[in-house]
Amino acid sequence: MKSLKIVAACTLILSLLVGCGAKEDRLATVQENKKLVLGTSADYPPFEFRKTIDGKDQIVGFDIEIAKEIAKDLGAELEIKDTSLSSLPEELKTGKIDIAIAGLDPTPERENAMEFSTPYYLAEAGVIVRAADKDKYKSPEDLKGMKIGVQLGSTFEDVVQQIPDAKKEMLDKVNDLVLALESNRLEAVVVEKPVAAAFAANRKEVAVAPVELKPVSEGYVIGVRKGSVKLRDEVNKTLERLKQQGKLDEFITQAVQLAEQ
């Protein structure tokens, strides 16, 4: 009986050690399954957004092209999971996704839940307003004390602080923020410049105001689960290759054009 207990205890310890090892790095899982699960929030053109192409609803964009290249370098098939920006850290932690690419800023809060890649794109703020108000707002002071919308979990939560006495309103989806703007529940929405331009190009009710806000981020990064340094290193290798080949500039240009169609 004692020997059986010892065997059972050893088996339990071994299973726990294997479990811990699995949690440490997702690279082995990706390579074994030959599948890379991407978590994103597909409401952020031109970075990630939905587009009907050849009659099919597809998730496309700058970040998606990067994810395809990472999957290719890993010899894996890319699977895309569309979720909310704020849920990505938890989905990485629980293993529902392997990588997160969604215009992520390297915030201290996210650093507790994920490993960061090297920055691949520096975010600059664009201010969306109702088209009729385009010339009304020209500086942060012009928006003083007004309701300003930002995406929950984005770096623009901090950027908005440059607007005096701004009443910050946060939602998960940028599209919902723009709808709130169009229905007069917000006076402006602060997002990434190409995102602002894409919404203005596709919706005549809104426009981009000439309001300059300073970046507060080091640039967008890709997230993998905390401890997955091997997978992070492979992601960095792909990013470096894309930079050297000039592919990142090519991808963002193509994504902006696609978002404006």
Confidence of residue 217 (pLDDT cuts 50, 70, 90): confident
Q: Tell me which CATH homologous superfamily contains domain 27-121+218-259.
A: Periplasmic binding protein-like II (3.40.190.10)
Is the domain covering 125-209 a CATH 3.40.190.10 domain?
A: yes
Phi, psi of 220 (to 5 degrees): -70, 145
Give percent helix, percent strand, percent coil of the chain, each to the nearest 5.
45, 25, 30
Which residue has better confidence, 118 or 154?
A: 118
CA-based torsion, 204, 60, 93, 237: positive or negative: negative
CA–CA dist 132, 52 (Å, integer): 30
154 vs 56 pLDDT, higher one: 56
Q: For residue range 70-113, what is the model confidence (pLDDT) as tens digits?
A: 999 999 999 999 999 999 999 999 999 999 999 998 988 899 99
Mean pLDDT of the region 224-252: 96
Given strand 114-116, what is the order of strands in its sheet? Answer: 77-82, 35-40, 99-104, 221-225, 114-116
pLDDT band at 24 (very low <50, low <70, confident <90, very high): low
Structure tokens at 222: 């890709």
Q: Taking 70 as the threshold, does the pLDDT of residue 14 lie above it? A: no
Q: Does residue 1 surpass a pLDDT of 90?
A: no
Every domain of the chain with CATH number 3.40.190.10 lies at 27-121+218-259, 125-209
